[in-house]
């Protein structure tokens, strides 16, 4: 075998404990697969650029301080660099097949460069300088990592280190040499799932200058607790969006005294059964004797913590907009809205509220939404103090009566569609609202009454829109004509036409006989003439008086009957206003 063939035949090389200070002359080892240079005095990684077939490389216990000249080793799967002087782990990006990496006993302080090693399955990096527990999150992007050793790092001294690591790295099977059982994974999930940590907030915002944050959108983030927002510094936060999370109680809310807009739609917020302490205070007892409360930090009914300072919702004294739609709230008074004197907009749709109460101090409230609750009626004082209310929505709540909607001097929009209001007389109960211009009663039984719109227009004179349909002057004039008591009565057929009900008119030969008076000596014609308003048949025909009430002689025949038919058809098409004029002729 010649010398070149000998070099090509070498697949494994071991030069441990040889006091080597430099690697060189290895260019011809083109088929080298495994190499070990442990316990030497190497200070640089060099001389291996031509060993492209190398799969395993061990450089443990040397003096290497920097990872370099490794990107050419594309087939490398195992790399051991323990017990060196490495401070940074840059330089491994090109090792796409690397599955096992050992970096124990170095001076590494960050794991961020390792996030690019997509094939990594085993990482041994104990006894380094990893301090922050958040460094574990750098490994979340490694889809195949199942074995991790971090023992001996300062971060392991944290009480929640193991549970936190297990929670963050869901696919991990072994941590610090100890297997991870399914119950341990479940426990970690229960402890850390849905928590807003400072690290997570930093990752979202890109900075830690909390005092510069004015708007914060945390919607649809599966949050249960807002730990990070309890930190000092959010003094200028004005708007907070927490829609679509898993927040179950208002005691998780931080103290945000400058907050003006809070959105908590589609969460799990609920009212709880009363505690003995709540029952003793007797402040939340309603007419039915029920007491409920929303959980408050510290357990005190005034929403104060142990230091006496207000917390939770009660601490947000500047709040102007509060949205709590589609939660599980049953007791409105338990929200303790009296602590929010500046509230202007309150949304509570899609809850389980059965009584409207606890709104006494909201004198600046302008918009109240209570759709899709279980409110069958209002109490006398439910809305009595809402002197600034402009818009009220109570659609699909099961409402049966319009009693106690008042006084509400500024209310201009009232939406009550999809309820159970049956009689038109109920409209009288809201006739006192002086500013009401927009009303919705669609999909109530009363809205199906024949004279529903005319009656409503007559009773509510300021109204401009009814059931999303604008009210014009002609419609209001027709309503006046139909319902004014000092005008003569209008035939039912005219009422049907004015109210939009079309009644077909069918004429038969029998009708003609009866109307022409051929049977009974013209009695039918007389009866018809008596039934026509103001002048009847006598004004509808100009024939001589001797011809009978309708100008029909005994031999009048078919022409007379046609004249009667024309008179009847003329009465069918005349407007109600013309029919009301005395002495108006109908024409032949």
pLDDT of residue 309: 56
Is the pLDDT confidence value at 241 over 60?
Answer: yes
| Candidate CATH numbers 3.40.30.10, 3.80.10.10, 3.60.20.10, 3.50.50.60; the one for domain 3-192 | 3.80.10.10
The pair of structure tokens assigned to 414 is 């009232």
pLDDT of residue 174: 96
Q: Which of 158, 159, 220, 228 lies closest to 195, judged by CA?
A: 228
Digit-coded pLDDT (tens) for 480-526? 988 885 455 555 565 555 555 444 545 554 444 444 444 444 444 33
Is the pLDDT confidence value at 358 over 60?
Answer: yes
Residue 460 · residue 439 · CB < 8 Å: yes
- Average the pLDDT over 74-99 and give the result: 92
d(CA 53, CA 42): 22
- Mean pLDDT, the chain, rounded, equals 80
Q: What angle do CA 579, 585, 588 make, to 5 degrees?
A: 120
pLDDT of residue 562: 42
Domain range summary for the chain, segments of one domain joined by +? 3-192, 194-276+291-353, 509-579
- Look-up: residue for tokens 């069958």? 376
Strand partners, 14: 36
pLDDT of residue 277: 44
CATH of domain 194-276+291-353: 3.80.10.10
Digit-coded pLDDT (tens) for 437-479? 999 999 999 999 999 999 999 999 999 999 999 999 999 999 9
Digit-coded pLDDT (tens) for 388-405? 999 999 999 999 999 999
**What is the torsional sign of CA 461, 466, 471, 475?**
negative
**Local confidence band at 193 (pLDDT 50, 70, 90 cut-offs):** confident
- Average the pLDDT over 357-363 and give the result: 94
pLDDT of residue 520: 43
**Local confidence band at 570 (pLDDT 50, 70, 90 cut-offs):** very low
Determine which helix (DSSP H) or strand (DSSP E) holds 483, and give its type and residue range.
helix 473-483
Q: How would you write 302-344 as a 3-class SS string?
A: CCECCCCCECHHHHCCCCCEEECCCCECCCCHHHCHHHCCCCC
Nearby residues of 566 by Cβ (< 8 Å), 6 or more positions away: 586, 587, 588
Q: Residue 523 CB: number of other CB atoms within 10 A? A: 12
**Do the domains 194-276+291-353 and 3-192 match in fold?**
yes
Digit-coded pLDDT (tens) for 430-443? 999 999 999 999 99
Is the pLDDT confidence value at 176 over 50?
Answer: yes
Digit-coded pLDDT (tens) for 12-48? 888 899 999 998 888 888 888 999 999 999 999 988 8
pLDDT of residue 293: 40
Q: Which of 520, 523, 535 lies closest to 571, judged by CA?
A: 535
Residue 243 · residue 263 · CB < 8 Å: yes
Residue 328 · residue 352 · CB < 8 Å: yes
- Average the pLDDT over 182-201 and give the result: 88
pLDDT of residue 491: 59
- Look-up: residue for tokens 């002729």? 585
Higher pLDDT, 288 or 267: 267
Digit-coded pLDDT (tens) for 244-283? 999 998 877 999 999 999 999 999 999 754 444 444 433 3
Digit-coded pLDDT (tens) for 250-261? 877 999 999 999
- Average the pLDDT over 35-64 and give the result: 92
């Amino acid at each position: 075998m010649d010398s070149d063939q000998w070099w090509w035949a070498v697949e494994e090389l071991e030069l441990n404990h040889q006091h080597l200070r430099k690697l060189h002359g290895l260019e011809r080892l083109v088929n080298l697969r495994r190499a070990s240079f442990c316990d030497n005095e190497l200070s640089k990684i060099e001389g291996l650029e031509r060993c492209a077939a190398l799969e395993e490389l061990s450089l443990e216990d040397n003096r290497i301080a920097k990872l370099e000249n490794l990107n050419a080793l594309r087939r490398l799967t195992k790399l051991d660099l323990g017990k060196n002087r490495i401070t940074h782990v840059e330089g491994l990006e090109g090792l796409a097949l690397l599955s096992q990496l050992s970096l124990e006993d170095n001076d590494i302080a960050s794991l961020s460069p390792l996030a690019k090693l997509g094939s990594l399955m085993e990482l041994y990096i104990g006894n380094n300088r990893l301090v922050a527990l958040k460094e574990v999150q750098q490994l979340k992007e490694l889809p195949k990592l199942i074995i991790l050793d971090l023992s001996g790092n300062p971060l392991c001294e944290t009480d929640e280190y193991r549970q936190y690591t297990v929670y963050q790295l869901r696919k991990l099977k072994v941590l610090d040499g100890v297997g991870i059982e399914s119950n341990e994974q479940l426990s970690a999930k229960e402890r850390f799932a849905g928590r807003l940590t400072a690290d997570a907030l930093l990752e979202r915002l890109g900075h830690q200058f909390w005092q510069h944050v004015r708007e914060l959108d945390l919607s649809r983030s599966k949050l249960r607790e807002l730990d990070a927002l309890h930190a000092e510094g959010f003094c200028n936060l004005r708007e907070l969006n927490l829609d679509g999370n898993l927040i179950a109680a208002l005691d998780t809310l931080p103290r945000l005294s400058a907050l003006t807009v809070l959105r908590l739609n589609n969460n799990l917020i609920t009212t709880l059964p009363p505690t003995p302490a709540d029952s003793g205070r007797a402040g939340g007892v309603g007419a039915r004797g029920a007491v409920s409360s929303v959980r408050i930090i510290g357990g005190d009914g005034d929403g104060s913590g142990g230091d006496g300072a207000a917390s939770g919702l009660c601490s947000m004294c500047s709040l102007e907009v509060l949205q709590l739609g589609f939660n599980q709230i049953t007791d409105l008074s338990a929200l303790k809205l009296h602590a929010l004197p500046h509230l202007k907009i309150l949304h509570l749709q899609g809850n389980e509220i059965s009584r409207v109460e606890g709104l006494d101090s909201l004198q600046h409230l302008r918009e109240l939404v209570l759709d899709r609750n279980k409110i069958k009626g209002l109490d006398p004082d439910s809305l009595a103090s809402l002197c600034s209310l402009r818009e009220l929505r109570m659609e699909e709540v099961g409402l049966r009566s319009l009693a106690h909607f008042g006084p509400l001097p500024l209310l201009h929009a009232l939406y009550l569609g999809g309820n159970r209001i049956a009689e038109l007389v109920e409209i009288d109960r809201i006739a006192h609202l002086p500013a009401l211009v927009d009303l919705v009663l669609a999909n109530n039984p009363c809205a199906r009454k024949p004279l529903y719109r005319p009656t409503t227009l007559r009773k509510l004179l300021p109204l401009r829109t009814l059931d999303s349909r604008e009210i014009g002057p002609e419609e209001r004039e027709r309503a006046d004509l139909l319902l004014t008591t000092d005008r003569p009565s209008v035939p039912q057929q005219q009422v049907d036409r004015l109210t939009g009900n079309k009644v077909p008119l069918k004429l038969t030969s029998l009708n003609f006989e009866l109307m022409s008076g051929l049977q009974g000596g013209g009695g039918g014609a007389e009866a018809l003439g008596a039934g026509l308003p103001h002048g009847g048949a006598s004004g509808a025909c100009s024939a001589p008086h001797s011809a009978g009430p309708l100008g029909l002689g005994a031999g009048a025949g078919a022409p007379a009957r046609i004249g009667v038919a024309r008179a009847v058809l003329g009465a069918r098409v005349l407007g109600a206003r013309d029919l009301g004029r005395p002495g108006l002729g109908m024409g032949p």
